[in-house]
Structures are given as structure tokens and as C-alpha cells.
Structure 1
Amino acid sequence: MTVAALEDEIHRHNRLYFEDNAPVISDEDFDRLVRRLRKIKPDSPILHEIPSDTKTSIKGFKKIRREVPMLSLDKCYSEKELYQWAEKFEGDVMGSPKIDGSAVELRYDEKGHLSLAATRGEGIEGEEITENVKRIADIPQKIPPHPPLPKGGQFPCSYPPFSKGGEGGLEIRGEIYMRLSVFRTFDQDFANPRNLAAGALKQKDPDMTKKYHLSFFGYDVLGVDLQTEGDKKALLERLGIPTVPMEVVQKKEMQKFYEKLLTQRETYDFETDGIVFKAFEIKEQGRLGMTAHHPRYAIAYKFQGDSGTTRVKDVEWSVSRTQVITPVCIVEPVRLSGASVSRASLHNVGLMRQHGLRIGSQVMMVRRGGVIPYLESVIEEGRGAPMTLPEKCPSCGAPTEVRDDFLYCTNKENCFGTRIGVLEHFVKAMEIDGFGRKLLERLYETGLVKDPADFYRLKSEDLLDLERMGETLATKLIGNIRARRRLPADQFLRALGIRELAQHASRLLIQHFHTLDRLMEATEGEIAALHSLGEVIAREVVSGLRAKKGLIARLRRSITLIGQQVSQEKKGPLAGLKVCFTGTLGALSRPAAQKKVEEAGGEAVNTITQDLAYLVIGKQGGGGSKLSKAQALQKKGASLQILDEDRFWGLLKG
């Protein structure tokens, strides 16, 4: 590859990753290209481009400029490279997990009000997303206008806070991301939390952003002179800003810290792809300065993700219950996280086109954070035929159409794949075991089950005529159905398959309206007023319940719903109590700990409210804004208790 071709390739991948949110090679592959160019042409202007690292390019959003650019981080992949970087300065470092999200800035005016939020964009210029960001619960819309500063801190700042003519205030920089526990509640097969969060920030309707329940970690503050990275963390916590777990590390201990976080990685409720190290002393940071691309005082030490290379054998097309036709890449088996992987959803046709997949393409498969394996990049194009879009639905033969980046079947009512998708979603949401896709297809084809209500009319003798069906299995399947005749109303609501109605929203609706009957009488306005919902979800809920009124009536002849008032009568040491976790837990992952709370009769929540019973602080560090809010409520007379992790589990054991 010539130098010119290499420069063009780097420029193209910069644009695909940072502006289009559609990378076609891995971070590691991109960094290899950059290192190669740096070696053969160190003065190339391409090396000084400032990439747009928001992963979000939002057409129609107002552009903003900043005096202090938001730069990317330089990266390293070996202990040797890490220590070569650290030789440039004196003192300790601050170490923290590198959050795989979207970088943003938050501007608070001199009265403490959130006045602007913007993407990183091209470093100097970003895009305003203020209204979308105001829908993120982690981000306070007002902070103390004159917060107590760490020792030695002072106003005003030593550089312009926002732009020429700025009148003061604070600027906070951080990362918007999606918690893994939230990511797993979405029914659609998204590639990873980062892509889903990036799509949420693209929404033109801020209420749509709200439904994704995004989170935020702050890591930098401008507008005040401070002495250390520790001072920044302390100030952010006093302002009620969640902070990423941080630890002061001696330079000689950096590799040990890396190895420690590598072992803790699976316990985090966020996706992380490495560790960020920064010079601890702000004075040293100022001395080191920055290039046009990255600060010299910080570096990202990247994890070698659980990835593997393989070759594309074919592509299959899967039709969902929402009529979306999704490409599924079939590859030669590759082991990831101890499992053999031979297929991966490409999520949508837009990504498939951008990858430029062909039969025989060599690809990089990745599995991070316990999420579904996905195809991250194309390493070698391959000589086979390029992938093409089907003009007819592979399930029913109806014409297809492309809308945005998605391919749809136009047969809205009678597509076989869509109907099977509805049944598959129902049994999965209802936790009716034993009904795989092949069996559902046979039940549908024979006319035994055409919609979810038909499951409850089945008898074991109805199943005996099916291929490979014996009396024992038939009896077991009918027993599995009967075991799900009494269940919580929110679970039933989710099983109906109404658009935009995933696990969190279903639970919130029943908690508020108590019964399905009351919910079915609710107006769009009543639903939209609920915290974290909005007009879009409200419209889908009202229209969906109206459209499924007949199905609901048929199902309820066989099912007894447990309303929120009844389900609160759980037994256990935490019966009726709300518990919130903060920081990194030592014994269990966050989802596992929350499940333990629910098994003990309690409710696991993610926000600090007046009726919270316990705030549990993880032994691996943390606390941040949740701790500050809990302490403030205690001072106002709230009865909540703040416990460390060991005390809480001891309390639970009795």
C-alpha cells in the first residue's frame, strides 16, 4: 500500500467510526494503520487530524465551538509502550476504566444551571444535544453555583471557560454510556451498548432519548484551578456528578493495576475496553501539554478484547416480529469467551453495506462484557460474491422495502416469519419453557397455535401428531404452559409485544397504574407524564393496547394477573424495601446483586429517592453522586441507611 493510499484509508476509517458511527475495522486494526503511517511518514498531516469521537453525527443539530478542544487519547497495547509513556513525567498516575461510550461536555452557567450540552464532534466544534442530555437521570440540571473547592482550588480559571466572551461557570466533561443491565432489557439484537447509546443520542425527539435510560460518568472539570486529578474527582462528587471508579497508582504499579482491573472487568455494569492513565499532578499535565490529536499527559492502555478471526460462509435473513429483516452472518466456528460462535447478527442492512461483506471475507468477531457476539471489522475483503439485499421477504415472499438502514417486509398482517416472531417473543417473555422456534413453526403450520391465546387451549393429545413428539414431552409442554397461568401484570404486558415496551417500561407502568385494567383506561398524557417515559412510548402503549384488546381478553380467560399491589406482598428480609447499589461490588456483579435483593422480597432500584431503605457501597470503591444525595436526604430526616457491601450481605443473611 502506498503512503497516499494509507493516508486515504486512515481518513476514511476516521470518518466511518467517528462521524457515521459505522466502523468497519476494529480499534486495534485502525491503530495498526496509524502506527504504520507514523513509522514511514511521521510528518503526515493525517496524523494530526482531530477525530470526531462522539460516535454521533446529528444532522440538523446546532454547531458549537469551544476554546479548549476535546481531544482523543493516545493508545498503547503493551507494558513496554505504557512505561515508555510514563517516563516523560514525575509523580503518580490516576487510573480508571476506559468507558466505551460517547464523550460530551456539559456547561453550567454562573447560577449553576445546565445551559448547554454538546458532543465532542471534531474537537473544536461539536453539536448541541442539550435537550436530549436533560433526559439523562445521572446528569443534574442544576449544580451548586459556588461549590466548596478542594484545598488549593480557586476561581476564576486560568483559561477561557467556554468561548470568547464567556461569562464564567463550569464545564464538565465525561462519557455517556448505557449500563449492561439496561442493554440486556432491549429485545432487539443490537450489536453492543455503545452503538445503542449512540443511536439514543441521535434522536430528534428528546423523549425518545429518555426511554434508553442512558448513564453518565464525569472525568474532567474546567473553569476552576485545581492541583490534582483527585481534586477533580472530589469536586465532581460534591456537585452531584457520577464519577468513573478512579484510583491513585504509583507508576511502577501500573501493570499490576491493569491486571487487577482486567480480572474485575466482568463485574462492571458498563462496557470497558481498557484503562486510562493520567499524570496525577495538574502542574505536570500543563508542562507536558498536548498535540493537535491527544494530550501527552494521558494514555489509554487497551484490553486485548476476546476476539478472533474467521471467514464468512454465508448470510441468512431473519424476519422479526416487527417486520424487520435482519442479515445474520454465518462464519466458520471461532471460540470466544469459551463458547463456539458460528453466527452473528449484523443488526441492519446499513451496517452490512458499510462492511462490504463478501463470501470468503476474513472478519474479526468480538464478544465483550457478556453481550451477544458481533462482527466488528473486515480484515480481508474476500473474492466471493458480494452480499445483496433480497427483493422479496425470505419468509413469505412479499416485496421488501428499505427505510433508513433497515429492510422491511411489506406484508404487515400475514408474514409467516413475523407471526412466528410474535409467538417466540410471547413464550420467551412469559418464561414458558420448551417451545423453540422449530416447534412454534410446526404448531403454526398445523393451525394449532395462530396467536398467543391458542397456547392455553392446547391439550397434550393435540401435540402427539407432531413429528418427534412423544407422550412424555407433550405432557411436559402442557405443564409448562399451565405453570404460567398466574404471573405478574408487568410480565404479561411485556409479552404482548407492543412496540417500545420493554422490561423497564412495562414494570414502571404497572407500578404506577397497579392493574392492567387501569392502564388500559389511561390516556397518552397520563402515561407520558411518568418518569423516563414520554410521548412516543405513550402513543405506542395506547395504540398497542387498543389493537390487542381482543387478544388480551382471550388470554385473560386463562391467566390470572398479579397486580403491583399484590406482588409487593413478598416475603423475605427485604420485603417491601428498596435497595440501591453504588460503586463496584466485590462479591457479585451488579445484575446478580440486584437479583439477590428481589429474591429477598425487595426492589432493586438505580436512583436515590426519599423512600429508599438502603444504599449499598461496593467494596471496590465508588459512591459518587448517589452517596452525596443519600447523605443529603439523611440530613433532611430520611430513614435510609448507608451500608458497606459486607454489612449489607450480613444483614441479608440475618
Structure 2
Amino acid sequence: MPDSAADLDGADEVDDDNPYVTDPDLDFRDVEELDEDEAREQAAYLREAVRFHDYRYYVLNDPVIADRAYDRLFERLRELEAAFDLEREDSPTQRVGGEPVEELGTVEHVVPMLSIDSSGDADDVRDFDARVRRELDGADVAYVCEPKFDGLSVEVVYVDGRYVRAATRGDGVTGEEVTENVRTIESVPQRLRGEYPDVLVVRGEVYIPKDAFQAYNRERVERGDDPFANPRNAAAGTLRQLDPSVTAERPLDCFFYDVLAAWDTDSGSGEADGESGDAGETSDDDTVREAWNGGDADVDALLDALAARSSASAGGINAGIEGLDTHWHEIERFPDWGLKTNEKDERVTDIEGAIDYRDSLKAEREDLNYEIDGTVLKVDDRAQCETLGTTSRYYRWAYAYKFPARAEVTTITDIVVQVGRTGRLTPVALLEPVEVGGVTVSRASLHNPEEIAELGANVGDDVRIERAGDVIPYVDEVVEKGSKGTFDFPDACPVCGSDVERDGPIAFCTGGLACNAQLVHALDYFTDILDIEGVGEAAAEQLVEEGLVADDVADLFDIDGETLAELEGWGETSAENLAEEMEAARHPPLGDFLAAIGIPEVGPTVAADLASHFGDLDAFLDASADDYEAVEGVGPTVARHIAEFRGNERNRRVIERLRDESRLGEPEAPAGEHAGDELAGETYVFTGSIEGWTRDELQALVERHGANATSSVSSNTDYLVVGSNPGVNKREDAAEHDVDELDADDFFAMLTERGIDVESGR
């Protein structure tokens, strides 16, 4: 066993005594039964074990415990960190995302991230090989071949084995800093494994797997949101979210494929790629060593020094570290460090092997669980790469052999405008059927009026249809005009005739639930969320067309059973079944109710957070936009949508009709019944331990009385409640944001003064 928990936390491999690695004991003692030393030691073992299981799952694709066991270990670690204030930045529990930012900053890359020249012609690839061998005086050249991922390229930086920064490629010299967003990706380790350089800068590709993309799009559609167009756009947009908690909810993944820089104090001067390793000291190296400071690095200064050193060398930095002399050796080392690589990577001995690799991968393309648009071939030997060098834009030692685009040309036969649940109008092109990527396509999205105007598209035009993966096809360009002018987007809703309003590029019907199209979607969504079987989209459309649901979803509960039984496709049995389903749905959980009524941008997860925060429907309805924004997971845009929905007189009438006892009745408060609003609008953070209370009990106490309890201090925090052995970081953050501190006695005294019976609130 390690000498201390601190030693264990820093271990590169799993300790033999760690009880949570194989066949873990999941029968944990209650948190309140542990003292701080026991909790700290158990948390250290759990962090190590969770990292190990992440490595087995994400890198080796060979898990050794069941998902349920992993979930219990993870939850236990979260319980301990919360109860004893043991949160650490590199803990696996911190992947949920940090505080939102106002905008993404930019950083200079340690090594420029250049582009790769490309072609889809095999002769161009052979010409590339001829140039390479000519520059290398006819030397033999081996190539490393990799899939060309259709994702987003990122630079990821590790200092002393710890994840410290990530940035998008940007213009190749600077990129957007996305450190907290990339931190949420499970396949990006917070700590490296094994023996690693003091500084390691790697290049990877962030993407969304096809199956995860399809599942996530299905969830978006089910909650009334528009599906993403394709995995690449979804990944790029997700990585640039200003709120990392949004990124954490989306299924990002990452492959690693290049060492951009590797620097080690013990390796000498830190040569540029391909140098012999015996160069003398340089001022650049002295600057790097000074910033390194014996391992106590000033990270920003260190990376600036490495960036300066990189610009002074012919290529990236490889500090003479053994085993990094070829690209293939780098790929072999990545899993040892805990970095995920692609199973299709391959080394070939000549250019014909690289061409065969591309053709073989093209044949497998549709079966892969990630999008690729070609292959990348790199000169394997790093010394040869250094000789070849770069242009201002491209690496001279790499080339992309691309696949033909998944695109076909067909004719637009009509353009229809669909009305969604929220009133959004979406133009859809109806097409002469055409096969694109193995799928017959007869309709394709035109997205919005602005997109139509940019394309200049109209009925009769020949257009190129693209399909990136198994997603909704879209019109990429007009190839040949077969019409005059551009499609005239309607000023009135095609379903109800209400005026159309524009919000930027998006068009909306102003008819609300008076628009039958919106009412049909709202009814289908409402019954789906409340698990009322028997009312799918077809039945919802029928009920609306028959006038049985004419004003809003509350009409569903007023339908006479005999009338329903007489409709086509129904009968006494199905009418009785629906009546039983509606009775079973009475008094739904508040979270389900808030999700079902169709507030824009509020799906089941956000609705559950709102229910937990406010406790009852009246408290929710009486809140302000600022109150909504104080809920974790709710940003300013969503808060504005909620406030506008709640303030709409028609929506309030629907809510009041639904909560009538003859229909749904009053929604049920979440577990831990709402006791009052004495602390409404306030936000509390707890640090340290308070005798007789667990962290969960304290948070539940203030939440039952209308407050919000969070795990980190921000400018929105009202009080930091400080127990024994408090965390230093939270107190420093409280001082920085001028947050009031309360000790346990003052905290309970304040609650009593506000009329809160503390003991009965347990």
C-alpha cells in the first residue's frame, strides 16, 4: 500500500492493494461513518480505479467490470468528494463541466498546427511520393497511414502528466481555448499513465460516433429540438459551447495521432525534431527550464517558452526522448500514456501500399462508427520529416488522399414548408429520388429562408445533395438553374395563415396553439413525456382534425369516451384504455409536467433541475428570469425562453386548465417535499464538515426552502457555509467574489431567524 493517499493519487499504475479494480466491493459504509483520513484514502483509491477503468474502456476497449459497478464506484467518489470537500481539478468527477464563460479566448499553439495538401487522384499521390524521395536523395520511405477523420482538430497539452490546456486548430498559429469543454470528454485522460515526458503536446481529432450521434439526434427530436445536420457540425458546435456543462451532455470522443511537442528536463537541451540530441545549451532552453522550475511549473510561461523555442526550430519539439523517432513509435506509445488511437492505423513500406490502404478503407467506410473523408499518409521517419520541412501552410511530409464526396445531383420537384412544435418553419425540398451514400433520398432540408436565399434554390433547379453519415440529407448547391428566381418564402403560415416572424435566419409561425400543426406536435409531445400511451402522432393529428382537441392539450381530458370510441380506428376498448392511461398520468411529477407543457429549450433534464430548484408549480410560475438563470444548467437564453413562456397569458391559462382536478391535477413536488420559500433566490455552497449533517442533507435543507445549492463558488453565490477542515479553494473563491462566509452556528441561527425549523427539516 502507498505511504499516503497523496502517493497513491500520483501513482502511474494501479496499486496492488486497490480494492476497486477487479471484483470491487460495492458495499460501502455510510459516508457519515468515515473520518476525514478514511474518506481521503478511499477517494484516492477510487480516483485511481476509475481512471484505470476509463483506460480499459476507452483506450483498450476491454472493460473488466460491468457498467453498473463502474457507475457505483463513480457515484461513491462523488459522494466522498462532496461530503469532505475533496474535489480536485483532475478528478474523474470533474468532467461535468466548469463555469460558463462569456466568450472563448485564444491561445498560441506550442507548435503550429498546419494543414495537409490533398487530392482524390492516385496520380497526385504518386507525384507526392516522387517529390519526397527526390528531396531525400532517393532514400527508402515508409509511410504511416491513418483515417482522415471528419471532426475537429485539437491541441491537447499535458504538463507533468496532468491535463492543462486544449485549443482548436484555428488559423494554425492560434486557436480557441476549449480546455474546460475538452475536459468533459471521457477519452481524454486528466492524468497520463506510465512514463511520460515532462511536457507532452499532442494533436487529436474530436468527433461524435455515428451511433451516439443518431441516439442524441433522436433525443433532440423527442424533446422538440431540431436535429443536428451532421456529426462534424455537431462536434464543432459542441466544442465551442460557452457552457461546458452543455458539452458534457453530448457524446464527444477523441482519437490521438501526433506528438506535436515532447520536452523532458533530463533529456538535455531539447532538440528540434530530427536533431541528434547533442546540441548545446540555448537561451530558449534556459527559458523553458526556468519556467519548468523543477516541476513546479508556471504553465502559461512554460508553454510560451516552448512556443518561442518551436518557432526558432525547423519543426516541432522532440527533446531527444527515446522511442519518439518515428510516427509509428508515437502511435505505439499513445496507449501507454492512456491516449486513444484508431484501430485502423497502419504502417506501409511504399506509396503503393498507401494507395491500397486508402482503397481498402474506402470499402469499409460505411461500416465504421465514425465519419471519415479519406486517408492521411505521413513519412514515418521523423528525421526525414525534419529534412522535408514545411511550407507556410502545409507539412511537406504528409498528404491526404481523399474519398469522393457523398453527393449526387437531382432535381427539386417541390418545396414544402413544415411547421414544428415550437412554430419554427422549416423548408424541405422534395426531390426526384436519388441514391446518396447507399440510401435513396427523396427529400432534403433547406434549413431556413436565409439558406434558400444564399443557394438561390427554387422548384425545377438541379441541385447537389450531400449526406454526411446517416443523417438528414441537405442541399449543398444549385448545379443548374431550371427556374427563374428563388423560392418565395411565405409571409403567412401554410397551416393556419398566421403571420410569419423572423428571428435572425429562422422563421416562426405566430399562431401558437391556434395553429393546428403546432397543436398536433404539442399533443404528441405532451402525451409522450407523460407516458400516455395511445396518442402518437397519427392519433394526435386525428384528434385535432376532428376538433376534439381544438384549443390546447388540456382538451384531451375533456373528450367524451363514447365520442372517441366512434372515431375511425378507435373503439370502446381503445377509448377505455386511453381513459385509464390519462387517469394514471394524474398528478405527475413536477419535472415531467414542466417538460410536457412545451417550454422552448426545456427538455426533461432541465425540467427536472427546475423542479428540484423551485419545489412546486407556484414557486416556478412566480419566479423571474434571474431566478431561472440561477438554476444549474440554465443559461441566460433558456432563462429568457422560460420567462417569456411563463409570462404568456395563453400559456398560463393552459397550465391552470391542466392543474384542475378534473384533468391532470396539481403536479407532485420532487422528493424532499418543498417546505417554503424563505430562502428563495439565494445560492449556497458548503465546504468542510458540520457535525451531525452530511453535505447532501445540508443541500437538501436549503433547497426545500427555495434556495439553490451548488458545488462551486461563483459571482452568483450568496453564502459560503464553512464547517471544520474547509477547502482552501472555495474560501479563496469566496474572497475573490466577495461572498459572505457563515460558520455552522451563524448558518443555523440565520435559518431559525427566518422561521425555518432546522431539525424537522432533516
Query: TM-score when scaled to structure 2?
Result: 0.52
Question: Are 2:628 and 2:642, in contact at CA under 8 Å, matched by a contact in 1?
Answer: no
SS of 1:223 mapped into structure 2: strand
CA deviations on 1:69-96 (whole Å, 9 max, x unpaired) are: 3222223324454455445454443333
Q: Which residue of 1 aligns with 2:207?
A: 177
Q: Which residue of 2 aligns with 1:76?
A: 119
SS of 1:286 mapped into structure 2: helix
Q: Which residue of 1 aligns with 2:330?
A: 232
SS of 1:186 mapped into structure 2: helix
Q: Which residue of 1 aligns with 2:731?
A: none
CA deviations on 1:482-521 (whole Å, 9 max, x unpaired) are: 6798799899886554444557778x979x98x9989999
Q: Which residue of 1 aligns with 2:252?
A: 214
Q: Given the alignment of the two structures, is residue 124 of structure 1 paired with residue 173 of structure 2, yes or no?
A: yes
Question: Are 2:154 and 2:203, in contact at CA under 8 Å, matched by a contact in 1?
Answer: yes
Q: 1:432 & 1:337 partners in 2: Cα distance?
A: 38
Q: Within 5 Å, which residues of 2 pair with 1:332-343?
A: 332-336=432-436, 339-343=439-443
SS of 2:162 mapped into structure 1: coil
Q: Which residue of 2 aligns with 1:186?
A: 220
Q: Which residue of 1 aligns with 2:345?
A: 247
Amino acid at match of 2:520: I
Question: Are 1:221 and 1:232, in contact at CA under 8 Å, matched by a contact in 2?
Answer: yes
Question: Are 1:525 and 1:538, in contact at CA under 8 Å, matched by a contact in 2?
Answer: no
Question: Measured at CA, do residues 526 and 430 of structure 1 come closer, stay the same or move farther in structure 2, by a change above 3 Å?
Answer: closer
Q: 1:223 & 1:365 partners in 2: Cα distance?
A: 41
1:354 CA displacement:
2.8
SS of 1:230 mapped into structure 2: helix
Amino acid at match of 1:96: E
CA deviations on 1:405-433 (whole Å, 9 max, x unpaired) are: 22223344533332222124346667888
Q: Which residue of 2 aligns with 1:95?
A: 145
Q: 2:228 & 2:329 partners in 1: Cα distance?
A: 38
Q: 1:327 & 1:245 partners in 2: Cα distance?
A: 41
Amino acid at match of 2:203: R
SS of 1:440 mapped into structure 2: helix
Over alpha carbons, which structure has the higher Rg?
2
Q: Which residue of 2 aligns with 1:196?
A: 234
Q: Within 5 Å, which residues of 2 pair with 1:321-332?
A: 321-332=421-432
Question: Measured at CA, do residues 239 and 480 of structure 1 come closer, stay the same or move farther in structure 2, by a change above 3 Å?
Answer: farther
1:446 CA displacement:
2.9
Q: Which residue of 2 aligns with 1:282?
A: 382
Q: 1:211 & 1:465 partners in 2: Cα distance?
A: 45
Q: 2:258 & 2:381 partners in 1: Cα distance?
A: 14
Q: Within 5 Å, which residues of 2 pair with 1:474-513?
A: 497-502=598-603
Question: Measured at CA, do residues 264 and 460 of structure 1 come closer, stay the same or move farther in structure 2, by a change above 3 Å?
Answer: farther
- Greater CA deviation, 484-493 or 330-339? 484-493
Q: Which residue of 2 aligns with 1:320?
A: 420
Amino acid at match of 1:249: R
SS of 2:384 mapped into structure 1: helix
Q: RMSD between aligned alpha carbons?
A: 4.8
1:384 to 478, 484, 494: 484
SS of 1:397 mapped into structure 2: coil
Q: Within 5 Å, which residues of 2 pair with 1:157-556?
A: 169-180=199-210, 181-182=212-213, 183-184=216-217, 185-187=219-221, 188-224=226-262, 225=318, 226-250=324-348, 251=350, 252-336=352-436, 339-412=439-512, 414-426=514-526, 440-449=540-549, 450-452=551-553, 455=556, 461-463=562-564, 469-470=568-569, 497-502=598-603, 533=633, 535=635, 539=639
Q: 1:298 & 1:485 partners in 2: Cα distance?
A: 66
CA deviations on 1:165-224 (whole Å, 9 max, x unpaired) are: xxxx43332222233314423221332122233333444444444444433333222221
Q: 1:453 & 1:337 partners in 2: Cα distance?
A: 44
Question: Are 2:565 and 2:574, in contact at CA under 8 Å, matched by a contact in 1?
Answer: no
Amino acid at match of 1:231: H
Q: 1:416 & 1:452 partners in 2: Cα distance?
A: 11
Q: Which residue of 2 aligns with 1:160?
A: none
Question: Are 1:305 and 1:368, in contact at CA under 8 Å, matched by a contact in 2?
Answer: no
SS of 1:443 mapped into structure 2: helix
Question: Are 1:355 and 1:378, in contact at CA under 8 Å, matched by a contact in 2?
Answer: yes
- Greater CA deviation, 432-441 or 237-246? 432-441
Question: Are 2:111 and 2:260, in contact at CA under 8 Å, matched by a contact in 1?
Answer: no
Amino acid at match of 1:220: D
Amino acid at match of 1:287: T
Q: 2:252 & 2:242 partners in 1: Cα distance?
A: 16
SS of 2:220 mapped into structure 1: coil
Question: Measured at CA, do residues 239 and 498 of structure 1 come closer, stay the same or move farther in structure 2, by a change above 3 Å?
Answer: farther
CA deviations on 1:214-237 (whole Å, 9 max, x unpaired) are: 333332222212222233334443
Question: Are 2:499 and 2:510, in contact at CA under 8 Å, matched by a contact in 1?
Answer: yes
Q: 1:556 & 1:219 partners in 2: Cα distance?
A: 62
Question: Are 2:602 and 2:638, in contact at CA under 8 Å, matched by a contact in 1?
Answer: no
Question: Measured at CA, do residues 195 and 312 of structure 1 come closer, stay the same or move farther in structure 2, by a change above 3 Å?
Answer: same
Percent of counterpart pairs with the same letter?
30
Question: Measured at CA, do residues 189 and 388 of structure 1 come closer, stay the same or move farther in structure 2, by a change above 3 Å?
Answer: farther
CA deviations on 1:326-356 (whole Å, 9 max, x unpaired) are: 2212222223355542222223334333323
1:388 CA displacement:
3.5
SS of 1:290 mapped into structure 2: coil
Q: 1:370 & 1:244 partners in 2: Cα distance?
A: 21
1:262 CA displacement:
3.9
Question: Measured at CA, do residues 119 and 313 of structure 1 come closer, stay the same or move farther in structure 2, by a change above 3 Å?
Answer: same
Question: Measured at CA, do residues 85 and 349 of structure 1 come closer, stay the same or move farther in structure 2, by a change above 3 Å?
Answer: same
Amino acid at match of 1:148: E
1:386 CA displacement:
0.8
Q: 1:86 & 1:431 partners in 2: Cα distance?
A: 61
1:370 CA displacement:
1.7
Q: Which residue of 1 aligns with 2:86?
A: none
CA deviations on 1:5-42 (whole Å, 9 max, x unpaired) are: xxxxxxxxxxxxxxxxxxxxxxxxxxxxxxxxxxxxxx
Question: Measured at CA, do residues 295 and 204 of structure 1 come closer, stay the same or move farther in structure 2, by a change above 3 Å?
Answer: same
Q: 1:534 & 1:427 partners in 2: Cα distance?
A: 25
Question: Measured at CA, do residues 198 and 238 of structure 1 come closer, stay the same or move farther in structure 2, by a change above 3 Å?
Answer: same
Question: Are 1:248 and 1:280, in contact at CA under 8 Å, matched by a contact in 2?
Answer: no
Q: 2:185 & 2:655 partners in 1: Cα distance?
A: 33
Question: Measured at CA, do residues 399 and 549 of structure 1 come closer, stay the same or move farther in structure 2, by a change above 3 Å?
Answer: closer
Amino acid at match of 1:462: T
Q: 1:407 & 1:301 partners in 2: Cα distance?
A: 41
1:148 to 191, 195, 218: 195
Q: Which residue of 2 aligns with 1:112?
A: 162
Q: Which has the higher contact order (CA 8 A, sep 6+)?
A: 1
Question: Are 2:408 and 2:436, in contact at CA under 8 Å, matched by a contact in 1?
Answer: yes
Amino acid at match of 2:171: E
1:103 CA displacement:
1.9
Q: Which residue of 2 aligns with 1:604?
A: none
Question: Are 1:452 and 1:555, in contact at CA under 8 Å, matched by a contact in 2?
Answer: no
Q: 2:337 & 2:658 partners in 1: Cα distance?
A: 48
Question: Measured at CA, do residues 337 and 388 of structure 1 come closer, stay the same or move farther in structure 2, by a change above 3 Å?
Answer: same
